[in-house]
A and B are shown apart, each in its own frame.
Chain A
């Protein structure tokens, strides 16, 4: 039976070393053994044989960010479920009710985002409202120049 930390986690260390070695080997071998041709055509991006046009910097919808953010919040809830599962048998109903309270509160959050349409992937988004006022963003000098344009 492995006892010390090193003995118990030796497989993990071995896998890390192996992963690092394979990655280094593949990239290193191709860098050392490959041809050294460099011209403008070779440095262009690969687009399945077609000539690339435009930049890759398209505007992404902010929905992706929202989904990633919500993933983290619910992932934290899942992380709390792991240790709870380990001691559930000892604590019985008390643990059940305390996790029930926790999950119900997070469920309320889930219900909220569902109803608000944050998970609705295909809905049309409206443009932001135009400013009615143009102000200098908190100017340093005490007399700001505010151009007030009255909305219709």
Chain B
């Protein structure tokens, strides 16, 4: 087994087991840590694809920012009671059946069609590092979405201050 294959299976196992842990564990902090492990596995998969910039951003932003925010919320909201409650509702059997059916459908579809990208589409090969390529495309072709992300961040800023900011009257 070559190095790449080994690491692919390792990172995929990390991602899947982390995901399972997030759903099945009782203690909320354990769930958050399992989600962090899962995101680490996904970051590793990005690295194997050659998307080094995404690998770094995933770890810095997602794990280092958003998961820390999750842990803050778990600290603020006392989830002691939640771990003693019944974890899964009445819909669990139906949900399991539907999810497994969907996964089976997708598997059968993927195993039939091997080639995804049609021959008529040509992708230009990468020259230079990954970050440089991403930046070249981001700031020229995708200029408009980049500027619009700032509006999205503004909306989030106004919303968070409105919801959690101090009261003035």
Chain A interface residues toward B at CB < 8 A:
4-6, 9, 57, 60, 62, 64-66, 68-73, 75-77, 79-80, 82-84, 86-87, 90-91, 95, 98, 101-102, 105-106, 108-109, 112-113, 116-118, 120, 123, 125-126, 128
Contact = CB atoms under 8 A, between A and B. Distances in A.
16 contacts: A9-B47, A64-B75, A66-B160, A68-B68, A69-B69, A76-B153, A83-B131, A91-B140, A98-B147, A101-B147, A105-B153, A106-B154, A108-B154, A112-B157, A118-B161, A123-B166
Interface string B34-71: 00000000000001101001000100110001101100
Contacts of B165: 66, 116-118
A105 B75 CA distance: 32
Contacts of A102: 146-147, 149-150
Interface residues of B, number: 48
B93 interface: no
Contacts of A106: 150, 153-154
Contacts of A9: 47
Main SS of chain A's interface residues?
helix
A129 to B, nearest CB: 8
Contacts of A105: 147, 150-151, 153-154
